[in-house]
Structure 1
Amino acid sequence: MPRQPREFKPDYCYHVTTRCNNREFLLYRRECREVFLYAIKMALEKFEFKLYAICIMSNHVHYLLEPGTPDELPKIMHWLNWYTAMCFNQMLKRTGHFWEKRYYSSGFPTSDSARVLNTLRYIHANPKSAKMQRGFFYDFSNYGTHERLTADGITQWHPAFLELGKTLEECAEKYRGFCQHYRSGAKPEKTRHWGSQLLNRIEMAGKQRQTNKKQLSPGQMKLPVTVDWCQVVKSAEIVEVAETFIAANAYPDSGSR
């Protein structure tokens, strides 16, 4: 069936999720996640938006962001997915789609403090829910900036967080307590109506074949120059961005770089 057009509104935040193709664990390598942080830094310089939360897992990424204008979100995500797909396909010596389908986005008013805080907590709880971490601290999410009140060079605090207390220390304490009450729940299974949709899908697939032959997915495109990725992952800019972010968000006693 045809894609439903996305609806974007002013003064809205968006919880955005992108998944690796076939939900493969393509971001398991630490250097991939470090390059991802650098790509986000580049996007922040290229586009107008505020990034309130980020969590880079092994096979998907969560964002909470607020675009400067409603029509900026597709541009931001298209560029990020295009750039990272090309980078990672070349780094991992693979071809084909890197990201699965379109990105998922759920929007809500940035003034909806309860929704903002619940979304922040959900994103920050991902590593714990996946049993990757015992607590909320994780090198590649920005939970640490909320509990330790650090600056990671990429994200910023949402006004809803700053309204939790009269001082930053009180905001951090209340958010920490709020997160400690988080309980992850099982996701409901999706219902698929195969009989009613199969014919439409076959027809649409036939119509799109000719178009798809002329189009390349982001992961199939090539960067405009030949890149030595061994040198890229060691570049001073990427190392600086990654080290700043990780130092601000890692568990205090983890001995991160």
Structure 2
Amino acid sequence: MARKPRIDYKGALHHVMCRGNNGDYILKEDKDKESYLQLIKKYKERYGFKLFAYCIMDNHVHMLIERENTSLSKIMQGIQQSYTQRYNKKYNRKGHVFQQRYKAELCNKDDYLLQLIKYIHMNPVKAGFKEGLNYRWSSYRIYISGKDNDLVETEFVLGFFSKNLSRAIERYKEFMKENNNVISTEEYLINQEECLNKYEENNTKSTTLDIDELIEKVCEICEVKIEDIVKRTRIKRYSDIRKAIVLLSEEYVNISNENLANKLNISSSMVSKIRSGASKRNKEVNKIVELVKSYSLIQA
């Protein structure tokens, strides 16, 4: 059964968690952590997302990401695949490095955001690391440095504490030292409900996607790789998914036959046949179309 795709939209703020396969210590060495951090920076520059906090532990990573025009799945695909390639090459190995898909939870920009950043920065403390909050591979030190940086959105968060930077930093330090539960179950459930309501409001404003988003969403729902869909192949499963994308594009994407053909690596005449109904639709194509439409990510 296909896994339910994540709710994602422009401006969505996600708490992203990635864990090593089987709990392996895939980031134990400082050079590995530095490599992962450099990839965060690289893809932040490429895709323009906002990073509010991060913590790179020995076997997992936390990030608080607000995406702009590029979907979260594409951002994470870039970071995870690049790190996997580097890691496997360095340690002369093959196979998965990360455990299944990354986990992502929606977050609101309110008091819950502060609690979540606190949770992320407290990871080294809970793990018993001697550096505690001053752990090198967390964004906490960036928050208390008072220096300009092009990586973490500290200004927005510190603004919750004071408009004066020095006072805000001191109050943030006090906040981090407060001995309380970081996130309660009730707070979590309220946050998730509010985020879902915000998503529903956001999603009803427009049903238009760009073609890359449509292809990405269909591939995620059908659990196939994008590269398998956009390359020339006669594998029936991939061919059916391409036909479904063509049919869905009529409803959700404003794109010409020629441009769509180039995206899917098929002829424009084939796109025209599918759209006009001249190309016979089999049951599998219909199932794919209905499956995609059944998800709230794409609403009629």
> Where on the TM-score scale, by shorter chain, does this alignment land: which range?
0.5 to 0.7
User: What is residue 32 of structure 1 aligned with on the other side?
Assistant: 32
Kept in 1: contact 2:27–2:57 (CA 8 A): yes
Aligned equivalents of 1:58, 1:182: Cα separation in 2: 25
Aligned equivalents of 2:148, 2:179: Cα separation in 1: 24
Percent of residue pairs identical:
29
1:1-257 correspondence to structure 2 within 5 Å: 1-69=1-69, 72-109=71-108, 112-133=109-130, 135-157=132-154, 159-183=156-180
Aligned equivalents of 2:82, 2:125: Cα separation in 1: 29
Give CA deviations for 1:19-43 in whole Å, capped at 9, x if unaligned: 0100111211111111112111110
Kindly report structure 1 stretches of 4+ aligned residues shifted beyond 4 Å.
182-185
CA deviation after TM superposition for structure 1 residue 2, in Å = 2.6
SS in 2 for 1:34: helix
Kept in 1: contact 2:158–2:168 (CA 8 A): yes
Which amino acid is the alignment partner of residue 147 of structure 1? Answer: I
Aligned equivalents of 1:6, 1:130: Cα separation in 2: 29
TM-score (norm 1): 0.67
Change in 2 beyond 3 A, CA 1:106/1:67: same
Aligned equivalents of 1:126, 1:151: Cα separation in 2: 24
Aligned equivalents of 2:162, 2:44: Cα separation in 1: 28
Aligned equivalents of 2:179, 2:83: Cα separation in 1: 31
For structure 2, list consecutive stretches of 5 or more residues without a partner in the other structure.
Answer: 186-221, 229-300
Give CA deviations for 1:227-255 in whole Å, capped at 9, x if unaligned: xxxxxxxxxxxxxxxxxxxxxxxxxxxxx
Aligned equivalents of 1:96, 1:172: Cα separation in 2: 43
For structure 1, list consecutive stretches of 5 or more residues without a partner in the other structure.
Answer: 189-207, 216-257
Count of aligned pairs between the two proteins: 190
CA deviation after TM superposition for structure 1 residue 83, in Å = 0.4
Kept in 1: contact 2:17–2:61 (CA 8 A): yes
Which amino acid is the alignment partner of residue 104 of structure 2? Answer: S
Aligned equivalents of 2:174, 2:146: Cα separation in 1: 15
Give CA deviations for 1:51-109 in whole Å, capped at 9, x if unaligned: 1111100000000011013x521110011001011111111222110010101001123
- Root-mean-square deviation (Å): 2.6
Kept in 1: contact 2:158–2:165 (CA 8 A): no
Larger radius of gyration: 2
CA deviation after TM superposition for structure 1 residue 151, in Å = 4.0
Aligned equivalents of 2:133, 2:181: Cα separation in 1: 13
Aligned equivalents of 2:20, 2:181: Cα separation in 1: 22
Kept in 2: contact 1:121–1:182 (CA 8 A): no
Give CA deviations for 1:121-160 in whole Å, capped at 9, x if unaligned: 0000000111113531111111012122134542221523
SS in 2 for 1:136: helix
